[in-house]
Structure 1
């Protein structure tokens, strides 16, 4: 059975809407298991390939293997905070001339100044009360 060209285009458009992050490699740095599980579900359902680590030091090692398109990192981490991580990443970018877009997430919005995270090198800041569509939209804007 042949499909009509208009039907094929409509199907392709629907498929891309269903998986807007298809082919996007995400490095997720999150130490809270329940939050990481939820983010993994949201991102993989949107079509992303996700590498997950729970500490900043592991993220730096993982960067070399995964070559992510975007970083999503909790601000409060057990070893080094997110601002340390993003500054370490930005320092390596001077050598390799590759910029990694980054989103900071946190549940400690009173303790964390959004401007501090943006000044450290993150492009976006999301409190953990965000909707899945907000996260996906932020990723797409940065890519």
Structure 2
């Protein structure tokens, strides 16, 4: 198995050096860029598996860098996993980051062990972390097709744009079609990170999934909200 490659875009050189040494010792390839422009250039040169992206950069902000990553014409680059770092306490920063395509976030200051755990979790969800291969099966729900092996989603033959975490959320929901799931049950199903009780990340991701697979995201027919409980993936549609 090839060594997973990480790119950290962070203007704090001392922090990046500390993180780099720790992650290299943990079996990762590590590269560092001091600002958004050089980070985007390095991204295209090295095609890393995951980007550790600081929210506050000297030339631009991490949100804009994340937008540019997701808009890249190369499918492989556009699908790279993004873990966002933020020193801000406002939950809206996290929500916006998730809305524009970040796979996870970690507030500063952080413990290197927690960063490592989150990186491994994101890569595991993506299929790069050494877990068993996903079943070679395609789930079909009317015009919606979910290929667990290729990790792709199409609606009416058109590719749906989802992050790796959103893909796993959709699979978890589809595998339990017809069952009402709480947010905790959904998070447990994808073995994701623990979240604070006030965190709205599941709701944010569900909104993004709806935007990708529903005809009308404001009037969803496939992923339905059950007030006071959670969500349900509707079996019969189309």
Pick the TM interval, shorter chain: 0.7 to 0.9
Preserved contact between residue 83 and residue 121 of structure 1 (Cα < 8 Å): no
Q: Deviation per CA, 1:79-121: give whole Å up to 9, x if none.
A: 01000001001001xx322210000112233486210111121
Which 4+ residue blocks in structure 1 deviate beyond 4 angstroms? none
More strand by share: 2
Distance 1:34 1:111, change over 3 A: farther
> Secondary structure in 1 aligned to 2:52?
strand
Gap regions ≥5 residues in structure 1: 1-21
Gap regions ≥5 residues in structure 2: 124-238
Which position in structure 2 is the counterpart of 1:78?
A: 58
RMSD between aligned residues: 1.7
Question: CA offset at residue 136 of structure 1?
Answer: 1.2
Which position in structure 2 is the counterpart of 1:9?
A: none
Question: CA offset at residue 129 of structure 1?
Answer: 2.3
Which position in structure 2 is the counterpart of 1:141?
A: 121
Aligned residues: 120
Q: Distance in 2 between matches of 1:36 and 1:111?
A: 24
Which position in structure 1 is the counterpart of 2:88?
A: 108
The 5 A counterparts of 1:43-122 are 43-92=23-72, 95-98=73-76, 99-110=79-90, 113-122=93-102
Normalising by structure 2, we get a TM-score of: 0.48
Higher alpha-carbon Rg: 2
Distance 1:51 1:112, change over 3 A: farther
